[in-house]
Amino acid sequence: MTVRTRFAPSPTGYLHVGGARTALFNWLFARKHGGDFVLRVEDTDAARNTEEARQAIFDGLNWLGLDWNEGPERGGNFGPYYQSERREIYDAWFAKLVAAGRVYEDGGAWRFRFDRKPVTMHDLVCGEVTIDYRDESNTPDMVVKRSDGSYVFHFVNVVDDLEMEITHVIRGEDHLMNTPKHLQLIEAFGGKAPQYAHIPLILNPDGSKMSKRDAGAAVGDYPRQGFLSAAVVNFLALLGWNPKTEQEIFSLAELAELFTLENVNRAPARFDLEKCKWMNQQHLLGISVDEFAAAAKPFVAEAGLTVPDNYAAVIAAVKDKVRLFSEVPAAVDFLLKEDFDDDPEAVAKVRASATSAGLLGGLAQALATLPEWSADAAKAALTDVAVATGAKPGQLMFPLRVALTGRAHGPDLGDVLNLLGKDRCVKRVRNFATKLC
C-alpha cells in the first residue's frame, strides 16, 4: 500500500504556522514511507476565497521546501484538486446516500441520518476515542447539503479523501471530534477509512490560543524578516514532535528520516519566536560566507546602504553575530557609511573615564604615523600609547571600539581595523576624542 497524505487549506487568508506545521507533518510522513503528499484546495467558500490567499499558500509551501506530488500546478490522477471544480463528483456521491436512504430533506437542506450507535476511532496520536450516537439530543443528524445546494465541509472532506485514496489524515486536534462523523459517512459509502492522527494545537508562550494576529503566525513574514526556510522547518517540526535525542538542529532530509507519529506529543506545543530566532542563527552558522552574503544583500540594499567592493569581507565579519538577515544592515552600517548613530550608553561609558579623550587623541596621532597599515600594527601602536601614559592596553580597547563603531559590541576589533583602513580609523578616533572633550 502506498502511503498517501494530504494538506487541504482554504484560500481565505495567509498560510498560518499551524497550517504549515500540519503540511510539514504530512510531508514528512509521506517522505518517510516513500509515499505521496497531495495538496488540494478547499475553495468552496467563494465569498471569502481570494487569489492572493491561494498564491500565499503555494508560495509558503514552496519556500518551506514542502513540494507536493499531486495537486495544483502539478496535476495527478485524482484531480481536479480544487473543490470548486469537483461538483459533479460530490453530486454522484450524494446520490449514493439518497439511494441508500441515509439522507433526508429538512427545510430545504439535507441531513445525514446517523447510525444510532457508539462510534470508536483509533487515533494514531490521541489513542481510542468513542462518541455515543445513541442520544440524538447530543448528536443531531448532520447537514451535508445546504438549502442553496452547496455541500458542507464534512461531506466534501470525506468524499475527497475516499476519491483520492488518502491513507493517513494528519490534522490538528481541533478536528478530533469531527472524525466520528466522518467515519459514519465513510461506513455509509461502503468505503475504507484512512488512519487518523490528530496533532496538538500550537499555543502562545502564555498558554493562550495562537491567533492570526500574534507575532510569528504568518509564514509569509519569515522570509521578509530574514529567516532561513530550513530553520523555520526545523522549528515547526519540534512544535509537538520529539526526536527522542538531544539534537535540536536538523535538516529537512534528517527530519524526514527520523519522523514518526509515535513521537508526536499529546500536550499542546508552546510557540517561542525567540527560540525560532536562535535556531535560525544555528542554521546561519552552517552556511558559507558566499551564501550568507547573497541572502543578506537585498536587506542591505533595502536599508539604503551601498554594497562595497569588499562586501564579502564585511559580511564575514558579522556573520556569526546576527540571528536574522534583517539584522545585517544595523550590524554593518558603520562599515559602509560615516553618518551612523552612536550608542548613547557606550559613549557615556567611555566619557565616564577622564583619561579616555587624552588616550584616544594620542592613539589617533600614533595611528596616523604608521608606515604600513594592519590590525596587528594598529594594536601594537595602541599598546605603545597605553604604556607611554602609564595605562593598560585594555583601557584603550573599549574606547577604540566605540570610536570606530559607535557601539559596545560587534565584529572582532581586528576585522574592524582592517576593513575601515588607516584613513577612516584615524579620522574616527580623532573626531571621537574631540567629541569627548
Could you report the per-residue pLDDT of 150-209, keeping only the tens digit for each?
A: 999 999 999 999 999 999 999 999 999 999 999 999 999 999 999 999 999 999 888 888
% of the chain with per-residue pLDDT over 70 = 100
Q: How confident is the model at residue 354 (pLDDT cuts 50, 70, 90)?
A: confident
Amino acid at 247: Q
pLDDT reported for residue 215: 73
At which residue does the C-alpha cell 595611528 appear?
A: 367
Could you report the per-residue pLDDT of 6-51, keeping only the tens digit for each?
A: 999 999 888 999 999 999 999 999 999 999 999 999 998 877 888 8
Residue 342 CA to residue 223 CA, distance in Å, equals: 29
Could you report the per-residue pLDDT of 121-130, keeping only the tens digit for each?
A: 999 999 999 9
- Please name the residues in contact with 407: beta carbons below 8 A apart, sequence gap of 6 or more: 334, 342, 343, 346, 401
**What is the CA 109 to chain-centroid distance, rounded?**
41
pLDDT reported for residue 45: 80
For 283, counting Cβ atoms within 10 Å of its Cβ (0-12 exposed, 13-18 middle, 19+ buried), the class is: buried
Residue 391 CA to residue 403 CA, distance in Å, equals: 18
Half-sphere exposure of residue 150, counting CA atoms within 13 Å on the CB side? 12
Could you report the per-residue pLDDT of 59-86, keeping only the tens digit for each?
A: 999 999 999 999 999 999 999 999 999 9
Average pLDDT, the chain: 95
Q: What does the DSSP 8-state code read for residue 304?
A: T
Question: Which of 47-56, 154-163, 333-342, 405-414 is the least confident region?
Answer: 47-56
Q: What is the mean pLDDT of residues 108-133?
A: 96
Catalytic residue among 117, 209, 212, 244: 212
Q: In terms of residues, how long is the chain?
A: 437
At which residue does the C-alpha cell 481565505 appear?
A: 12
At which residue does the C-alpha cell 514542502 appear?
A: 66
Could you report the per-residue pLDDT of 226-256, keeping only the tens digit for each?
A: 999 999 999 999 999 999 999 999 999 999 9
Q: Are the CB atoms for 83 and 156 separated by under 8 Å?
A: yes
Amino acid at 402: V
Residue 351 CA to residue 348 CA, distance in Å, equals: 5
Amino acid at 110: W
CA-closest candidate to residue 327, choices 270, 365, 372, 281: 281
CA-closest candidate to residue 189, choices 94, 115, 260, 123: 94
Query: What is 105-170 written as a DSSP string?
Result: EETTEEEE---SSEEEEEETTTEEEEEETT-TTTSPPEEEE-TTSPBPHHHHHHHHHHHTT--EEE
> Is the bond preceding 80 in cis, omega lying within 30 degrees of 0?
yes
pLDDT reported for residue 50: 87
CA-closest candidate to residue 175, choices 243, 121, 116: 121
321 counts as catalytic: no
- The pairing of strands 109-112 and 142-145 is antiparallel
Kindly provide the b/e burial profile for residues 151-176, where b requires at least 16 CB atoms within 10 angstroms of the residue's own CB. bbbbbbbbbbbbbbbbbbbbbbbebb
Give the DSSP H/E element, type plus range, for residue 30.
helix 17-32
CA dihedral 58, 59, 64, 67 (to 10 degrees): 40
pLDDT reported for residue 12: 86
Residue 301 CA to residue 434 CA, distance in Å, equals: 32
DSSP E strands: which ranges in 231-348? 269-270
Query: What is 181-236 written as a DSSP string?
Result: HHHHHHHHHT-PPPEEEEEPPEE-TTSPBPPTTSTT-BTTHHHHHT--HHHHHHHH
